[in-house]
Structure 1
Amino acid sequence: MALKPIDNALLLPPETIKLGVNEENKTAESLPPSADPIIDYISSENLEPISDPESKIHGLVEELDSKDWTKVCESLNDVRRFALYHSLLLLPILEKVILVAVKAMKNPRSALCKTSIMASSDIFKVFGDQLLDSTINAFDNLLLQLLLKASQDKRFVCEEADRALNAMVKSMTPLPLLNKLRPYVSHSNPKVRAKAAITISKSVSKMGLEGMNEFGLVSLVQMAADLLNDRLPEAREAARNIVTSIYEAYTRNEEQKQESWQNFCQSSLPPIHAQSMVKITGSP
């Protein structure tokens, strides 16, 4: 007589028989994940030179492209060290490094995002106007990401992006930077508009009348007038600061009297906007 095949399920322990395949997977998924490693945010002052920079630089781009996000964080800190202490070695691959930083800023991991923003701050401090060189095409992407990150709700990322934007303003010539920032005061996101307006106001405060004329004094005044009617109070406050900086530069020359400023506003703007300008500066 033929024997019946043995049911494999009978050979399994009882607790396994009770679980279907989906239930087993569900049980595995419900296990607590291992804790993420703690990332140290090292201030620029505490970063040290690289012991063998000539050897290290050759593998930097590959390390930045690692699938392990913690290794990318470590490599971004190496980027900071190269920028601060070995900038000539970093310069030839700077655009690739900026592209990696931009990619990291888009990553949902806040630790990776913040580390990349810190790297951008040190890059601004060291390279300044070199980032506007025609060979560095990644600057526009970097600027947009910083404005977006400065506009988001995660406070510690937002504050770090604000610091990076401040480092950018301090290290770069106002006129070319204003040309880069100009499009963002018309951005569809009101928070981005506000951050752009604040950054512009800080750049304008560094300019004299000659630089403002080179940018286009009428364009600058019109930009400020538009921002005075923006939805967010931060943008409106930035616009007032821009107007004050323009007024101080305009009237610093003894030949430019307050009456001349009033005439300039009236000839450059619609009456209601000109009136707002005169009111802000306290002109009669």
Structure 2
Amino acid sequence: MAMALRPIDNALPTTPERPKKQTKVAVPMQKQQSGLVNDENQAPLPATADFAIDYISSENLKPISDPDLKIQSLSEGFESKDWVKVCESLNNVRRFALHHSALLAPTLENVVVVLVKAMKNPRSALIKTSIMASSDIFTAFGDGLLDSAASNAFDQLLLQLLLKASQDKRFVCEEADRALSSMVQSLTPLPLLQKLRAYASHGNPRVRAKAAVSIASCVAKMGLEGLKDYGLVSLVQKAADLLNDRLPEAREAARGIVMSVYNAYTENEEEKLRENEEEKPEKQEIWLSFCQSNLSTIHAQSMVKITSSQ
């Protein structure tokens, strides 16, 4: 009996012929610009010109020799398309802030707007220089940045600093941390605390943590009256929320807030009891009573646990 032939569709696939390799032709590379030629006997040059920028510390910034004339051309540098010139203008802003602040004061709002714009620039040298300039402006003008004229610009500056402090670029992040610290040291705590409040609930956990650190620093500078003006209950409630935050930095800041409020509140209550010649309860009893009156049971327990471990 003859075997049935296998239908052609069920035939095993044939292996396609491998393509022949193309002969490689060596193409000579174009010579680089004379200033960027790689010479095995020379150290490699930096990939970008960012390294040409000098990051001058505040104490090394010298006064301007002709400040009255220089202030008139300051804005021209800001509008330059050459980022190096913009950096030079930002360093001049720093000199004006530290040594000729009266000349810079009339244009303070516009200067802060320029700083914010520079911080949004993708070039790291501009970002870092503008952050350094913001630190010097905090030192020079303090609460003047919270005046109605400059207040909106300050809000934008604060946001940018919190964002930059939340970055992965370490040298930008560290500079922004220093600027935020300068801000806390230079401005009155209560109005600054009111500015920071919204960012403690920011959707970005890193921004939230950086805001919490600044809030803790503000609270540490305040006495009980200032804390009461802000709102003791709202402050400890926010601290209770931050104690459950994802990031350790936010949780540590929350513990700092709790300890500052605890010390201010219990010392005041003890003083009142002494004045009335009443029997003085333990600090923990005073604190427990306050927390139980204003927080949920679980949050009150968290607060007492923090203070009792100190």
What's the counterpart of residue 146 of structure 2? Answer: 132
- What is aligned with 1:269? 295
| Range that drifts further, 60-69 or 197-206 | 60-69
Matched, 1:147 2:159: no
1:280 maps to 2:294: no
Q: Does 1:80 align with 2:90?
A: no
1:94 aligns with 108
Q: Summarize deviations over 1:178-223 as a string: whole Å, max 9, x none.
A: 0000000110100000000001001100000000000000000101
1:222 matched residue in structure 2: 237
2:7 matched residue in structure 1? none
Shift of 1:240: 0.4
Relative to structure 1, is the Cα distance of residues 76 and 143 closer, same or farther in structure 2, using a 3 angstrom cutoff?
same
Structure 2, unaligned runs of 5 or more: 1-28, 37-45, 274-280
Question: Normalising by structure 1, what TM-score?
Answer: 0.87
Residue 195 of structure 2, aligned match among 167, 170, 180 = 180
Paired AA for residue 44 in structure 1: S
CA drift of 1:62 comes to 2.0
* Contact 1:222/1:269 (<8 A) preserved: yes
Match of 1:122 in 2: 136
CA contact (8 A) 1:80 1:122 kept: yes
| Residue in structure 2 matched with residue 13 of structure 1 by the alignment | none
Deviation at 1:272, TM superposition (A): 0.0
Q: How does 1:198-217 map to 2 (within 5 A)?
A: 198-217=213-232
Shift in Å at residue 247 of structure 1? 0.3
2:9 aligns with: none
Q: In structure 2, give the amino acid aligned to 1:74.
A: E
Q: Say whether residues 1:44 and 2:58 are aligned partners.
A: yes
Instruction: Report the identity percentage.
Output: 72
Across the two proteins, how many residue pairs are aligned to each other?
256
State the TM-score, normalized to the length of structure 2: 0.80
Distance 1:115 1:268, change over 3 A: same
Q: Distance in 1 between matches of 2:112 and 2:76?
A: 14
Which one has a bigger Cα radius of gyration?
A: 2
Matched letter for residue 71 of structure 1: K
User: Is the 8 Å Cα contact of residues 61 and 96 (structure 1) preserved in structure 2?
Assistant: no
- Amino acid in the other structure paired with 1:157: V
1:250 aligned residue (239, 262, 265): 265
Provide runs of 4+ in structure 1 moved above 3 Å: 30-35
Cα RMSD between the aligned structures?
Answer: 1.7
TM-superposed CA distance for 1:34, in Å, is: 7.9
Structure 1, unmatched stretches of 5+, are 1-26
| Aligned twin of 1:22 | none
Say whether 1:113 aligns with 2:113.
no
